[in-house]
Amino acid sequence: MEDRKQTSFTFEIDNFWDKEALIRSPNFFSGGCEWFVDVYPRGCGIEDHLSTFLCVANPESLLLGWKRRAILSLVLLNVSGKRLYRLYRDGPPCKTFCAQIPAWGWADAMPLEMLQENGFTEKNKLIVQVNVQVVEVVDEAEVTGKETIDVNGFQVLYSEVGQVTTIFEKHPDVALNFIPKSQLVKTVYMKLLMFLIEKLNKPPRSFSNNALSNARMELIDLTKAGFKLDWLKEKLDEISLERKKENGDGSLSSYGFRVQELEEQVQELEEQVKNLNLELDTEKVKSAHVLSLEQTVSDLRDELSKEKTRSTTKDVLEGVIRSWEVLDYPDLSNEEIE
């Protein structure tokens, strides 16, 4: 039990009725981590309602196995700070936040018709107060970067959870018809999908014709595996269209595209030639070294042959000397000479 103290966080939304997109509060601290509040002025999943969600900020920075159990409530205030509405049923809910579920809230927080009543949005301003009481903090282990977690049936790295979760939030049916069953194969395909999304987020001018062709082939492979990627195909088509525009707006004509493509091919060939020359130089060095070694071996063989010849001659001479030493010659010193 690290922190049982309740934290109250209040933020104001000016010109509330002029807004339609998601409104995100600044971060605040409670229970050993940061939080923020997402407010949807026109509802999230439920039309004609105010939707609010309490979210853990930067969950990827927390320790592996992190968990926060918290009691939360939402209060609407008027401009003078008076409580006008408190949202919870049957007492404040106690929710568990973790890597798989980093946010809790109310999609049907309040009907917009009710919100328009006098006092709720005085001066076109909505004041939201969130109360958080963290009652349990769990941190099981440090992140090594190799741990995986299940996100909609795909095992992904802990650091990739946010990106994969976003994909499924924006495109819930993206993997409904995914064919492979092997977890390893599913992981590989998910990585390919993330790489392709990241690639297509680059400016259109950064794409060459070859890069666009490769991206289209990757998209076809992912689609054959069962991913539903109509939205990604539309993005790729938009990039291709942007690349074909020119003449007056700074883009390339068809002739310009052909010239650029040829220039890219020439650059690739020049790079290949450069690499081949490096390999050739390396082989030449190796060849010279081999020739040097072969000459050294030849010299050593000649010297060895000479040494063997010297050794044989020495043995013969020593044998002759020994044979003369053992012969019994008569002593002629005392014989008279006739």
For 227-264, the pLDDT digits (tens) are 999 999 999 998 888 877 754 444 444 455 556 666 66
Q: Which of 140, 144, 150, 135 is closest to 65 using CA atoms?
A: 140
Predicted confidence (pLDDT) per residue in 40-82, tens digit:
888 887 778 888 888 888 887 777 778 888 888 888 887 777 7
Check if the beta carbon of residue 84 is closer than 8 Å to that of residue 119. Answer: yes
pTM above 0.75, yes or no: no
Helix segments in 205-253, DSSP class H:
209-224, 230-244
Domains and CATH numbers, the chain: 8-138 (2.60.210.10), 148-247 (no CATH)
- Opening angle at CA 72, ends 66 and 76, nearest 5: 140
Residue owning tokens 């060095």: 285
Cα(216)–Cα(182) distance, integer angstroms = 25
Cα(144)–Cα(283) distance, integer angstroms = 42
Distances (CA, A) of 257 to 237, 253, 269, 337: 17, 6, 18, 124
Residues of the chain with pLDDT under 50: 1-3, 247-254, 329, 332-338
